Chain A
Amino acid sequence: MSQAVHPLERSGTASAIPKLSVNNLEIIFENPATGLRTEAVKGVNLDIRQGEFVSIVGLSGCGKTTFLNAIAGLVKPSAGSIKLDGKSVEGPGPDRTVVFQKPSLLPWRNVLSNVIYGLELRGVRKDEARERAAKYIKMVHLNGFEKHLPHQLSGGMQQRVNITRALVCEPEVLLLDEPFAALDAITRESMQNELLSLWENTGKTVLMVTHQIDEAVLLSDRVIVFSARPASILEEISIRLPRPRTPELRDNPRFDYLAKRIWELIHSTAEKKVNPEYEI
């Protein structure tokens, strides 16, 4: 694995122990009916530091979402380990929350009850949950919409509720699975800016899967390029662009250079033939 890249020394207190540490991760799916085995992820090593914003890009279907799901604890690794603060990840836990591509709000609950859903499942008292929710609802400018039902909101606002539901749990690591993929370009851009300011305010460690290269460059400290399936790390690219980031950064020649570089890397893997399923 290339160790040439060094994460940004943003906080200054670079601790030796990474926040999230993935070692030699391997995920193989077996179809019980056909006995066909699909290697989704193979030999991935990745360390993420406290407060770092890391994005994973790669071809669609390359296994990056599977990788994220493994870190969320929703998929069991076949080999290798995932450690958070030195503790092995054995399933979903309060230290991680996931934002999926689809808002997936409970349609019969209003905005406020959707936001506190995660807290409710974790047994947080109702009044405390509401208090915490109010703070985050304000932060994402959803105040005044607490009583609205999901179908009364636009797609962008629904996704904002989805993100708030994850933020209010105050996880150690926020996992984002193509959170803006289903949004139109203009909404997406404003949501990216919002995510940036949220991240800057909360200092959370973020791992995001995306297929939008410019999004990855704009938001991240580091971009991990995944190969075609089975996913392994093709290259890690440090994004040494000034913070706080603004959309104007897209005019920066360095932004262009990095985006082009990542684009070329991804396309170099696309040449290889991708078999959806093959026998080992």
Chain B
Amino acid sequence: MKSETGILKEGRGMVRGVHLSRKRRKSVESFLWGGGVIFLVLAVWEICSNTGVINPMFSSSPSRIARTGLALIRDGSLWVHIKASGTIFILGYLMAIAAGIPLGVLMGWFKKAGLAFGPLVAACYTTPRIALMPLFIIWFGLGMGSKLALVFLSAVFPLIINMQTAVSNLDKDLVKVAAAYGATQRQVFFTIALPESIPYLMMGLRLATGRALLGIVGAEVFGGSEGLGYLIQYAGATFQTDKVFVCVLVIAAAGIFMDRGLYRLNKRFDGWRSRED
């Protein structure tokens, strides 16, 4: 026994060591390639713009975008729009979490609830939410209400569907073990269904982030007087392409930041999954 466990421990350490250093080398390599291509594209863009091959009025250029970005930060106007968008985004996202997770769990756990609400959820999920925006404006006005509704509806369905999938597809062997030890339904729910659905939850949150970003920008483009979507729409209509690019960059950065954050969080919760998977 002793020798068996000894070998096991040593073996793992070695495997992990090799794994890590290879991973580090890989990340350096991907940084060089990925960064190189981005740099090349930016350089070509800048040169074409400066030499007049393309009209900077339509296409802007990296240096112009940087300058505009700095100016918008300095006069504080960018922050105003970020705050406006961010507030609605966060509120809508939290509402989607508060409604989507319990609803999805309910639909996964109670087969009848799944049967009853499944088709409705599927129909809503496949409908482009932005198409409903005129209705939301009629119902909730041009202010925060209609935008909140769109963000909420954009984010809620990935959460519902992921939670339903997680809770209705439990590991049958684990459920059998629980049953053999006389577990009640409640115990199966809390000791197996909930922990098993955490990776699905994290995936749902990541999907919901993307959808909610899409929702907030779409809602603000539609109407209103502040927010990044509004700024994009306004700047675009007045040929301020630099400003459009600044806003797009801010939105992209926010998306990447949140996605990576949730990915990291998932890794932490997911430590029990074997590294081989």
A residues less than 8 Å from B141 (CB atoms): none
Count A-side interface residues using an 8 Å CB cutoff: 33
B174, A74: Cβ atoms closer than 8 Å: no
Is A92 an interface residue, CB under 8 A from the partner? yes
Shortest Cβ gap from B139 to chain A (Å): 43
Shortest Cβ gap from B195 to chain A (Å): 5
B180, A98: Cβ atoms closer than 8 Å: yes
A72, B192: Cβ atoms closer than 8 Å: no
B181, A122: Cβ atoms closer than 8 Å: yes
B residues less than 8 Å from A120 (CB atoms): 191
Question: Which positions 90-104 of chain A face chain B at CB distance < 8 Å?
Answer: 91-94, 97-98, 100, 102, 104
Of B5, B181, B191, B273, which one neighbours A107 at CB under 8 angstroms?
B273
A residues less than 8 Å from B191 (CB atoms): 106, 117, 120-121
A104, B173: Cβ atoms closer than 8 Å: yes
Is B187 an interface residue, CB under 8 A from the partner? yes
Q: What separation, in Å, do the CA atoms of A98 and B178 have in the docked complex?
A: 10
B176, A151: Cβ atoms closer than 8 Å: no
Closest residue of A by beta carbon distance from B7: A154
B274, A151: Cβ atoms closer than 8 Å: yes
A141, B183: Cβ atoms closer than 8 Å: no
Is A118 an interface residue, CB under 8 A from the partner? yes
Question: Which positions 62-111 of chain B face chain A at CB distance < 8 Å?
Answer: none
Count B-side interface residues using an 8 Å CB cutoff: 27
A106 in contact with B174 given A94-B182, A121-B181, A149-B271 (CB within 8 Å): yes
Question: Which positions 1-55 of chain B face chain A at CB distance < 8 Å?
Answer: 1, 4-5, 8, 12
Of B174, B182, B195, B272, which one neighbours A121 at CB under 8 angstroms?
B182
B181, A102: Cβ atoms closer than 8 Å: no
Q: What separation, in Å, do the CA atoms of A157 and B9 have in the docked complex?
A: 13
A92, B4: Cβ atoms closer than 8 Å: no
A residues less than 8 Å from B187 (CB atoms): 121
Shortest Cβ gap from A237 to chain B (Å): 28
A149 in contact with B272 given A100-B177, A104-B177, A106-B191 (CB within 8 Å): yes
Q: What separation, in Å, do the CA atoms of A149 and B269 have in the docked complex?
A: 13
B178, A121: Cβ atoms closer than 8 Å: yes
Is A145 an interface residue, CB under 8 A from the partner? yes
Is A278 an interface residue, CB under 8 A from the partner? no
Q: What separation, in Å, do the CA atoms of A106 and B174 have in the docked complex?
A: 7
A121 in contact with B183 given A100-B173, A106-B192, A106-B195 (CB within 8 Å): yes
B8, B176, B179, B180, most chain A CB atoms within 10 A: B180
A residues less than 8 Å from B179 (CB atoms): 74, 92
Closest residue of B by beta carbon distance from A141: B1
B181, A154: Cβ atoms closer than 8 Å: no
A97, B180: Cβ atoms closer than 8 Å: yes
Is A111 an interface residue, CB under 8 A from the partner? no
Closest residue of B by beta carbon distance from A102: B173
Is A169 an interface residue, CB under 8 A from the partner? yes
Q: What separation, in Å, do the CA atoms of A153 and B8 have in the docked complex?
A: 8
Question: Which positions 134-171 of chain A face chain B at CB distance < 8 Å?
Answer: 141, 144-145, 149-154, 156-157, 169
A residues less than 8 Å from B12 (CB atoms): 152
Shortest Cβ gap from B117 to chain A (Å): 25
Is A108 an interface residue, CB under 8 A from the partner? yes
A72, A100, A107, A190, most chain B CB atoms within 10 A: A107
Shortest Cβ gap from B200 to chain A (Å): 13
A151 in contact with B273 given A106-B192, A106-B195, A145-B5 (CB within 8 Å): yes
Q: What 1/0 flags go to B162-204 for Cβ under 8 Å of A?
A: 0000000001011011111111000100011001100000000
B residues less than 8 Å from A152 (CB atoms): 12
B residues less than 8 Å from A144 (CB atoms): 5
Of B171, B173, B181, B275, which one neighbours A118 at CB under 8 angstroms?
B181
Q: What separation, in Å, do the CA atoms of A153 and B272 have in the docked complex?
A: 12
Q: What separation, in Å, do the CA atoms of A93 and B180 have in the docked complex?
A: 8
Q: What separation, in Å, do the CA atoms of A154 and B12 have in the docked complex?
A: 11
Q: What separation, in Å, do the CA atoms of A106 and B194 have in the docked complex?
A: 12
B residues less than 8 Å from A106 (CB atoms): 174, 191-192, 195
Q: What separation, in Å, do the CA atoms of A186 and B1 have in the docked complex?
A: 12
Closest residue of A by beta carbon distance from B277: A151
Question: Which positions 202-255 of chain B face chain A at CB distance < 8 Å?
Answer: none
Q: What separation, in Å, do the CA atoms of A109 and B178 have in the docked complex?
A: 14
Closest residue of A by beta carbon distance from B172: A104
Q: What separation, in Å, do the CA atoms of A100 and B179 have in the docked complex?
A: 12
Shortest Cβ gap from B44 to chain A (Å): 48
A-B pairs, top 8 by smallest CB distance, nearest first, are A151-B274, A108-B272, A104-B173, A118-B181, A92-B182, A98-B180, A121-B181, A121-B183
Q: List 17 A-B contacts (CB under 8 A).
A: A72-B180, A92-B180, A92-B182, A98-B180, A100-B180, A104-B176, A104-B177, A106-B174, A120-B191, A121-B178, A121-B182, A122-B181, A141-B1, A149-B271, A153-B8, A156-B4, A157-B8
Q: Supply 8 further A-B pairs (C-beta < 8 A) apart from A100-B177, A107-B273.
A: A74-B180, A97-B180, A104-B173, A104-B174, A121-B183, A122-B181, A144-B5, A157-B5
